[in-house]
């Protein structure tokens, strides 16, 4: 068994059970990609078993803090089962949800989403890559399913020195046999949404916003939003939620043509009149400025942009980008209008996001009641030991 020895004092975060070991914390030792290493303090005391990542700044990720634990197939079978069992205790009103959320489920680098009978997985660390076959068997055994599609095409794979890979890992059958569908339909709350697990973003859909979409449908019903603007609409989740809540008309903006086509199809799939929805293939920032020039106003606006700040290093530039779109959105709010604004950047804390939105409102000359602070759906859990798990935050701001 290979060992990595930490520099003096660098054991502290591990003693608090934080699962990352940065390159700068290591005094000596190394291993092959994904190999299990014993991590010890400067004094030689056992700290954890971890998977080594030779090229990443996060040089090792912890599998277990228990010295007696063997890191073998039965460890992964037990950890995968525990992750899936936890979902039975979460409040999830959908047939599509996250089964494994990386570090928060004790499986760093592994993301697994379930869409009906199909699993879609991302292997994002050297450790997860090395144990791929074992993890896939464990996932199918624990769920009783047979279809698993791989979407290891996230850019973070490059940091681990891993190539991008996609395709069926299980269930495609022999050459010539019918290929399982990659176009699926999920059901969440009161609506259905079609997606493509091969070409969609991430694993195909943004499951983490499930409960915000329900909240948006409920508020649309309760407050009677007539004119709704859904910015960064992707495949129209918030659009369908608003129409379900009775919105008169929803304008949806995205810069991805395929996402917009899927969004329009999703409006039809739920039986809504196409007249109630319009779709704009455009840059959100430019569209918001144009709407302001035209004097358009909206009763509710959703702002759910992509990750502007993957890490704190990008926070400053991202903060300006967030502030800009929020300021423009505030200007478009009708009297009594409501803004649903989000950041999914790990590098922007909830506190900083609050400050950004506050200063955007102030610049727009708008005050508002913050009626709700929102986070990711419970199947994207954050844990006490891994604060980085809190990436998605949202604010509901009602114009005063």
Which residue out of 148, 344, 366, 397 is catalytically annotated?
344
Residues 171-230 that bind ligand SAH (CB under 6 A): 206, 209
Site for ligand SAH in 281-310 (CB under 6 A): 283-284, 304-306
For residue 194, the minimal CB distance to ligand SAH (Å) is: 12
Longest dimension (CA), the chain: 70
Check residue 345 for interaction with ligand SAH (CB under 6 A). no
Q: Is the dihedral of CA 87, 89, 90, 96 positive or negative?
A: positive
Considering beta carbons, is residue 283 or 367 the nearer one to ligand SAH?
A: 283
Compute CA distances 207 → 27, 154, 193, whole Å.
40, 17, 11
Give dist(CA 392, CA 323) in Å, integer. Answer: 17
- Distance in angstroms (rounded) separating the CA atoms of residues 2 and 213: 47
- Give me the residue label for tokens 């608003």: 242
The rounded distance, in Å, linking the Cα atoms of 94 and 91 is: 9
Rounded least distance, CB 317 to ligand SAH, Å: 14
Query: Smaller CB distance to ligand SAH: residue 125 or 262?
Result: 262
Report H helices in 224-299: 237-244, 257-269, 284-294
Active-site residue, 344 included: yes
55 or 290: CB nearest ligand SAH: 290
Q: Does 234 participate in binding ligand SAH (rule CB under 6 A)? A: yes
Q: Which residues pair with 340 in a beta bridge?
A: 302, 396
Number of residues that bind ligand SAH (CB under 6 A): 17
Nearer of residues 125 and 251 to ligand SAH, judged by Cβ? 251
Pairing of strands 46-52, 20-22: unpaired
| Residue 245, both tokens | 């809540």
CB of 109 to ligand SAH, least distance (A): 22
Write the interaction track for ligand SAH spanning residues 235-274; mark x where CB under 6 A is met and - where it is not.
x-xx--------------xxxx--x---------------
Residues that bind ligand SAH (CB under 6 A): 206, 209, 232, 234-235, 237-238, 253-256, 259, 283-284, 304-306
Residues labelled catalytic: 344
């Amino acid at each position: 068994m290979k060992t990595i020895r930490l520099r003096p004092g660098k054991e502290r975060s591990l003693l608090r059970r934080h699962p990352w070991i940065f390159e700068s914390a290591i005094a000596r030792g190394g291993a092959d990609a994904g190999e299990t290493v014993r991590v010890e303090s400067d004094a030689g005391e056992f700290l954890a078993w971890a998977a080594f990542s030779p090229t990443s700044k996060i040089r090792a990720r912890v599998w277990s803090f228990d010295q007696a634990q063997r890191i073998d197939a039965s460890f992964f079978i037990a950890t995968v089962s525990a992750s899936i069992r936890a979902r039975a205790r979460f409040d999830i009103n959908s047939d599509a949800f996250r089964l494994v959320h990386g570090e928060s489920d004790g499986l760093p680098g592994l993301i697994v989403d379930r869409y009906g009978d199909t699993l879609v997985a991302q292997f994002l660390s050297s450790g997860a890559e090395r144990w791929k076959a074992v993890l896939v068997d464990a996932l199918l055994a624990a769920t009783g399913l047979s279809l698993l599609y791989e979407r290891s095409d996230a850019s973070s794979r490059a940091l681990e020195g891993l190539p991008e890979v996609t395709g069926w890992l299980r269930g495609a059958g022999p050459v010539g046999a019918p290929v399982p569908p990659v176009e699926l339909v999920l059901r969440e709350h009161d609506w259905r949404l079609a997606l493509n697990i091969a070409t969609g973003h991430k694993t195909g859909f943004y499951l983490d916003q499930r409960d915000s979409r329900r909240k948006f449908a409920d508020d649309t019903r309760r407050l009677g939003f007539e004119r709704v603007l859904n910015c960064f609409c992707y495949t129209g989740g918030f659009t369908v939620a608003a129409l379900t809540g009775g919105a008169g008309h929803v304008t949806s903006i995205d810069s991805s043509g395929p996402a917009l086509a899927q969004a329009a199809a999703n409006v039809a799939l739920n039986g809504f009149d196409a007249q109630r929805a319009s779709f704009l293939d455009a840059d959100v920032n430019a569209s918001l400025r144009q709407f302001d020039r035209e004097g358009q106003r909206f009763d509710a606006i959703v702002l759910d942009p992509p990750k502007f700040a993957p890490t704190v290093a990008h926070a400053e530039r991202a903060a300006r980008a967030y502030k800009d779109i929020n300021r423009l959105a505030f200007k478009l709010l009708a009297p009594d209008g409501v803004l649903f604004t989000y950041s999914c950047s790990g590098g922007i804390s909830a506190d900083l996001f609050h400050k950004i939105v506050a200063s955007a409102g102030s610049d727009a000359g708008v005050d508002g009641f913050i009626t709700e602070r929102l986070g990711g759906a419970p199947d994207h859990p954050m844990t006490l030991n891994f604060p980085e798990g809190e990436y998605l935050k949202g604010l509901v701001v009602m114009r005063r």
